[in-house]
Amino acid sequence: MYQDEVSFKQAGSIFRHWALKGVGCVVKTPPTRKSLKVMGAVTVANDPKFHFRFVNWFNTKTFLSFLDQLISRYKNQKIHLILDNARYHKGPEVRSGSMVRRIALNSTICPHTRQNSMRSNISGKKPEEGPLTTGSSKP
């Protein structure tokens, strides 16, 4: 099973849009900044399943609640969960609690991607340069 988080954001400003040349457009929307955070997991078996939970924050407490939700769905099965390297996936509370919860956590290091480079530029950090890697030592 693969797990990740997503944050959907709504902003009341126009960043980019399509319009007829010389006409433009007007978007009537109140100024707002809302977001919705979701933790989710998907199985990739013959009968795929999707599990999700809306949360206010991405942290250890909400992640442990999500793991409890998965366990209640798969009562008598061991769960192998593939994770990214989010900080709250690796804490001692998560690692020690996973054994009790019957979940095998497998963290992966995501390869450097263009998306990650763009995120680094937004944060002001210089993106890594060089070829993309997949973790394989074969050419």
* Tens digit of each residue's pLDDT (9 = 90 or more) over 16-57: 677 888 877 776 767 777 889 999 999 988 899 999 999 999
Query: Can you tell me which residue has the tokens 């407490």?
Result: 61
Q: How far apart are CA 43 and CA 16, in angstroms?
A: 35
Distance, CA of 50 to chain centre: 14
CATH class of 2-9+34-122: alpha beta
C-alpha 77: how far from its chain's center? 24
Cα separation, 118 vs 87, whole angstroms: 21
Report how far residue 120's alpha carbon sits from residue 83's, in angstroms, rounded to the nearest whole number. 21
- pLDDT tops 60 at residue 132: no
The token duo for 15 is 């960043």
Of 4-13, 94-103, 128-137, least confident by mean pLDDT is 128-137
Give which of 110, 116, 115, 112 is closest to 130, Cα–Cα.
Answer: 112
Q: What average pLDDT is seen over the chain?
A: 75
Spatial distance between the Cα atoms of 95 and 88, rounded to a whole number of angstroms: 10
DSSP H helical ranges for the chain? 60-73, 92-101, 114-123
Where do the domains of the chain lie?
Answer: 2-9+34-122
